Amino acid sequence: MAGERGISATSVPEGGETARDAKVPRTERGRRTLRAILDAAAAEFGEKGFHEGSISGITRRAGVALGSFYTYFDSKDAVFRALVRDMSDQVREHVGPALRGARDQIDAERAALLAFIRFARTHKEIYRIVDEAEFVDPASFRHHYASTADRIAARLRAAAERGEVRDDVSEIHAWAIMGMNVFLGLRYSVWDEGTPPEAIADAVAQLLARGIGAATSSRADP
């Protein structure tokens, strides 16, 4: 799950918009408070789920007063929507730097997956939160995946223009890469961490570069 080579964005910027449904803080102290609330919401919803999680649980984890929560969010639904966007931003920001030094697009995809596996191992809650978004806020759920696939598709098209990948890459390839990364993260970050991330990334890079057909295969196109 990664964006194009060279991404710069922050979940809580100094000015302009922050995650949707969060009021923009005007001071550094306010930005720290908002960050604490979002991190606490990730822990609360990641552990208890949306329906069992509570605003009081979030403020207790964040160490802030209830009034501070309502300074930035109008409801539990609002903080959840903002959290889904924020976690998408965190993935993008974490993966972005890994792409910049890639030798070519296959190496970039390897770097993206490697960075995502490492991120997911320290943010396992992202899976529960994004999965619940499908039912709590379908628009956020769809945006999370659609925006990720759009970034992958854009970098694949750019790579095709550079002659690094086949020239017929499409949205289908972007969604396939994203889907593969999502489930690899689930299997090797959430369910089990026994396999070295580098081994996973290497295997996928070889898959992208060569496919899985036998070298001697003479299968005709349908």
Kindly report, residue by residue over 146-200, the tens digit of the pLDDT: 999 999 999 999 999 999 999 999 999 999 999 999 999 999 999 999 999 999 9
Enter the tokens of residue 49. 């789920």
Enter the tokens of residue 64. 């802030």
Per DSSP, 190 falls in state I
Enter the tokens of residue 9. 């964005």
Number of other residues whose CB lies within 10 A of the CB of residue 9:
11
Q: Which CATH number fits domain 77-210: 3.40.50.720, 3.40.640.10, 1.10.357.10, 1.10.10.370?
A: 1.10.357.10
Count CA within 13 A, CB hemisphere, residue 125.
20
pLDDT at 22: 73
pLDDT at 24: 84
Decide if pLDDT at 1 tops 70: no
Decide if pLDDT at 218 tops 60: no
- The domain ranges of the chain are 77-210
Residues 118, 104 contacting (CB under 8 angstroms): no
C-alpha to C-alpha distance for 13 and 33, rounded to whole angstroms: 13
Average pLDDT, the chain: 89
pLDDT tens by residue, 35-90: 999 999 999 999 999 999 999 999 999 999 999 999 999 999 999 999 999 999 99
pLDDT at 123: 97
For residue 219, give every residue at least 6 positions away whose Cβ sits within 8 Å of its Cβ, in sequence order, or none: 213
Enter the tokens of residue 132. 């619940």
Both ends of the chain: CA-CA distance in Å?
31
C-alpha to C-alpha distance for 148 and 1, rounded to whole angstroms: 6
CA-wise closest residue to 43 among 29, 62, 30, 56: 62
C-alpha to C-alpha distance for 122 and 173, rounded to whole angstroms: 28
Between 215 and 204, whose confidence is greater? 204
C-alpha to C-alpha distance for 206 and 45, rounded to whole angstroms: 36
Cα–Cα separations (whole angstroms), residue 143 to 14, 20, 96, 176, 217: 24, 12, 19, 17, 39
Report, in angstroms and rounded to the nearest whole number, the Rg of the chain calculated over CA atoms: 19
In one-letter notation, the amino acid at residue 205 is A
Per DSSP, 20 falls in state T
Per DSSP, helices labelled H in 12-54 are 28-52
pLDDT tens by residue, 98-126: 999 899 999 999 999 999 999 999 999 99
pLDDT at 3: 36
Enter the tokens of residue 99. 């792409």
pLDDT at 26: 86
Query: With a threshold of 0.85, does the pTM exceed it?
Result: no
Percent of the chain with pLDDT over 70: 87
